[in-house]
Amino acid sequence: MLTFRLLPLLAGALLAATAPARATAAPVPALVAVTALAAPAAKTAPVSRIDPTFWWVGMKNPKLQLLVHGPGIASTTATLRAYAGVTLDGAQRLESPNYLLLNLTISPTAKPGKLQLEFKGRQKFSYAYELKERTTPGDKSKVQGLSQQDFIYFLMPDRFSNGDPKNDYLASMRAPKVARDSMYSRHGGDLKGIENHFDYFRQLGVTALWMTPVVENDMPKASYHGYALTDYYNTDRRYGTTEQYKQFVDHAHASGLKVVHDVVLNHMGSGNYLFLDQPAPDWFNQWPRFTRSNYNASALNDPYGSQLDRKLYNQGWFDTTMPDVNQRNPLVATYLIQNFLWWVEYTGLDAYRIDTYPYSDPNFLMQWGQAMNEEFPSLFKFGEAWVGSTAQQAFFARNIFQPVDGFKSNLESVFDFQSTFALYDALKGEQPNLNKLYEAVQGDWMYEDASRNVTFLDNHDMSRFYSVIGEDFAKYKMGLAWLLTMRGIPQLYYGTEVLMKNFSNPDGLVRADFPGGFSGDALNYFQARPGQPGEAFEYVRKLANYRKDHAFLHSGKLMQFIPQDGVYVYFRYAPEGTVMVMLNGSKDEKTVDGMRFAERTGGFTSGMEVTTGTVLADLKSFTIPGHTAWVMELRK
């Protein structure tokens, strides 16, 4: 999620003009005309494009909705030349004369090939639409999903590494060139730059890569973040072509790395062709004048909440340059669902991270999740639900709650913001409170399976962890120890492993270029990491690889003990082994009565700290230094 107060506004976007109501549809937002980018000139080709751009035979859902776009296309009559196993069920006109919907049924007997769609109006023409052979069924390297065994590395492609300078300048785009001296401009990172450092990820112990959206974001300012998409079916060419992205996923899989695809369901960029030439006004949430979301999800499951608050949350716009999509329109819902099925089948990606998950229409979220589950059961989906409590957080994942207003989430996982905030409370200031960490995990009873939640220290919308804790290296190691030993799927924000720092004021300060990813960089942390950045990298590397190699740490059961005297102790255990994790939040050393943990330490006589090799010879009583994390493998 992008902090709304810092998103770029186009010139004049804050003018409070009011558009007159339309007789045939809901009023258009007053600021639409101000923030919409200029529409491209009409093309001479009868069909400008068809979404989805192609499809596959053998999909579990035989229905396919084609959105045909072209000048005056609605005035034509469409037919399908005979093709075994495929029927054209009908055509539907929308309010815009430049769109036509075609509904097809593709039976299980249909073979790959090209359908001939024929259009008859003032002129006759045809369009060859391709049906491909599926590649994901039976290929174990594709759509692998995620589990506690994984360690996610999160990066912003534009800010990580420039591997292909040829895509640094593209005259056809609204922000055509790089400007590394501006935090809001493109800096030139791309897919090739990321791929060049697959070895770096593997060395660190990473198993999955999550990138901010790689789809086209052809906006004139701050397009580097990717969350204002302008084409659902194209990769942003400044990262590489769509085919190159497919190859990127293949190469990642061959290198033992999974790929997480970042998606936005709730909104698009105002430069999207669907907004510039709207199929119908009801494809977007319309208001008499521009209306923002209230950014507060509490009303969704508040038994006393007002309908107005719910509507403002789900139908208000995220920002003036991010039109809010009307997912209650079944045609829009189908368009979006098909798009996200398309990306999985086309690339074989392993997981979806869903931006601003709660902002979408609840019924649509259930439809979307069900469609993904039915077509790709192994696809992992985790959502950003930046809310105010564990109960609210659990509401948006599969949980034990009864449905509220019929909503029951199909989402396996959410980001564990509450545990992150608890960690901040535990490590900030002179009076740390490790009880917050205990309480955050105690709330796991609300989830169907909290071990699927994604844990993290920070992200692109938050101040960097090292700055939050006052650049205290001892506390840094405590945070990393917690991240890599607690239940859940850990996610590391790029550069945390080399102590990148800053506060998100503005956001661009926490989205700096990775040192060494760009020509001329004074430091190259891919090759050498002197001083504390090197110590930090080694700590993460040792612990992450230990975690990867020992199933009892990444997948074992969890038992925690109520913190006492500033010391928090928990265990990850399985028949194959046991790890005891101890966090001393106090600046003073603490003597701990080990007999309190006898139900987990029984049968063991000693322990070895996995990052230093230090041996703990007596488990009955021991002293842990201040601001220290121990990850002890217990031994008999």
Q: What is the dihedral of CA 32, 37, 38, 40, to 10 degrees?
A: -120
Cα 427 from chain centre = 27
Is residue 543 within 8 Å of residue 579, measured between CB atoms? no
Q: Distance between CA atoms of 122 and 200, rounded to whole angstroms?
A: 59
Annotated catalytic residue within 150, 164, 355, 361? 355
CA nearest to 233, candidates 460, 42, 48: 48
Counts of helices then strands in the chain (DSSP H, E):
17, 26
Q: Is 185 helix (H, G, I), strand (E, B) or coil?
A: coil
What one-letter code names the amino acid at 542? K
Cα 457 from chain centre = 15
Residues in CB range of 520: below 8 A, 6 or more apart: none
Kindly state the tokens that stand for 368.
Answer: 């979307």
Annotated catalytic residue within 190, 216, 384, 507? 384
Q: Is 384 a catalytic residue?
A: yes
Residues in CB range of 513: below 8 A, 6 or more apart: 159, 160, 180, 187, 189, 521
3-state helix, strand, coil in the chain (%, to 5): 30, 25, 45
- Pairing relationship of beta strands 258-264 and 208-211 according to DSSP bridges: parallel
- Residue 386 to residues 125, 367, 444: CA-CA distances in angstroms? 50, 22, 17
- Residue 367 to residues 265, 327, 337, 373, 411: CA-CA distances in angstroms? 12, 10, 8, 10, 11
Beta strands, E only, 81-132: 86-93, 99-106, 113-120, 124-132
Helices (H), 428-464: 435-442
Is residue 621 within 8 Å of residue 597, measured between CB atoms? no
Is residue 580 within 8 Å of residue 601, measured between CB atoms? yes
Beta strands, E only, 349-432: 351-355, 380-383, 413-414
Q: Distance between CA atoms of 478 and 47, rounded to whole angstroms?
A: 58
In degrees, to the nearest 5, what angle opens at C-alpha 422 toward C-alphas 318 and 310?
Answer: 30
Q: Distance between CA atoms of 462 and 584, rounded to whole angstroms?
A: 25
Q: Is 371 helix (H, G, I), strand (E, B) or coil?
A: helix
What is the phi/psi pair of residue 235, to 5°? -75, 150
Active site residues: 355, 384
